[in-house]
Amino acid sequence: MDWLKRCVRDEQEFFAMHWRRAPAVLRPDDPPVDLLDTAELDGLLDAGLLKVPYIGLVHEDSHVPAERFCTPRVVLGEVVEDYADAELVRRLVDDERATVLLRYVDQWHQGVRALTTGLAEQLGRQVEAFCFRTPAGTQGRPLHRDDADVLAIQISGEKRWRVHAGPADGNWEPAREDGDPGEVLLETVLRPGEVLYVPRGFAHHADAVGDAPSVHLSLTVREAGTANLYALLQALLADGAAIPGRPLDDEALTDAAEALIGHTRRTLATLTPDALVAHARTAMRATMPAAA
């Protein structure tokens, strides 16, 4: 299965014109809207197995406390918390226009996991999935920047997106954007079967339009950062270094330092920047659940 083609249609054009460069609306011939439709979302909620933090309710500027939509249960004589109550969830959606957010769908939904695993193999990066069900006329999240490239697959309803310019340099944080987000690069209403690509760090926000709620699956393509490079380098330097943890005297401590320096030099002599980045990306992907 060519999952990337199902998301972007023309892979060559996508990488040449849009990847890490500019937002775009993509119209694949066979978008993966069949993996998680609105009827299944209702069924998942009614089944009663959705649990915080895999499910959350949010307003534009806040998160709904779990105790407002979860009720305790007794299982094997013990009280368990944080399972979503379908009636309470729907009441908050109807009365307060809350957005239902399903987190890390790839970890618990087989079809979505196949999609993210396939994309991760094709892109060489970690891919995760989140699902948003936003009532018509509301905005689920404020203007913000994500530490990931985003492919937003519109499943049902319509959503108006505005995408602004990316950060000026590498010293930025993935968070709400309260300053000047820069010019609007793309404004569009996303319809079922269409996919919006937002490059990493580009500020964006969206609101559901029309008469029906908007449902979209957001695929986040994670990239390695400096912290990942540091962690991988430390792990590579530690690997194979047979050095005592607590040398007993000055001479032994000096010998340990000499051995550590020699091991570090030998390791760095064979390590290239591209290899370090590749190691970091592979380590990130190793934390993903395997597709069934």
Domain ranges, ordered by start, for the chain: 3-222, 226-285
Q: What is the pLDDT of residues 30-77, one digit of tens each?
A: 999 999 999 999 999 999 999 999 999 999 889 999 999 999 999 999
Q: Model pTM?
A: 0.89
Q: What is the pLDDT of residues 237-269, one digit of tens each?
A: 877 777 877 888 889 899 888 888 888 888 888
Q: How confident is the model at residue 290 (pLDDT cuts 50, 70, 90)?
A: low
CA neighbor of 207 nearest in space, from 152, 142, 151: 142
Residues 215-232 have a mean pLDDT of: 92
pLDDT score recorded for residue 60: 85
Q: How confident is the model at residue 97 (pLDDT cuts 50, 70, 90)?
A: very high
pLDDT at 289 over 70: no
Do β-strands 126-134 and 214-222 pair in parallel, antiparallel, or remain unpaired?
antiparallel
Q: How confident is the model at residue 291 (pLDDT cuts 50, 70, 90)?
A: low
Q: Of 3.30.565.10, 1.20.140.10, 2.60.120.650, 3.40.50.300, which CATH number belongs to 3-222?
A: 2.60.120.650
pLDDT score recorded for residue 286: 83
Choose between 62 and 289: higher pLDDT: 62
pLDDT at 292 over 80: no
CA 7 to chain centre: 16
Q: What is the pLDDT of residues 173-199, one digit of tens each?
A: 888 888 889 899 999 999 999 999 999
Find residue 163's DSSP bridge partners: 186, 204
Structure tokens at 162: 């505005």
pLDDT at 281 over 60: yes
Average pLDDT taken over every residue of the chain: 92
pLDDT score recorded for residue 170: 84
Q: How confident is the model at residue 106 (pLDDT cuts 50, 70, 90)?
A: very high
Between 226-238 and 273-285, two packed helices, what is the crossing angle to 10 degrees?
100
Q: What is the pLDDT of residues 193-205, one digit of tens each?
A: 999 999 999 999 9
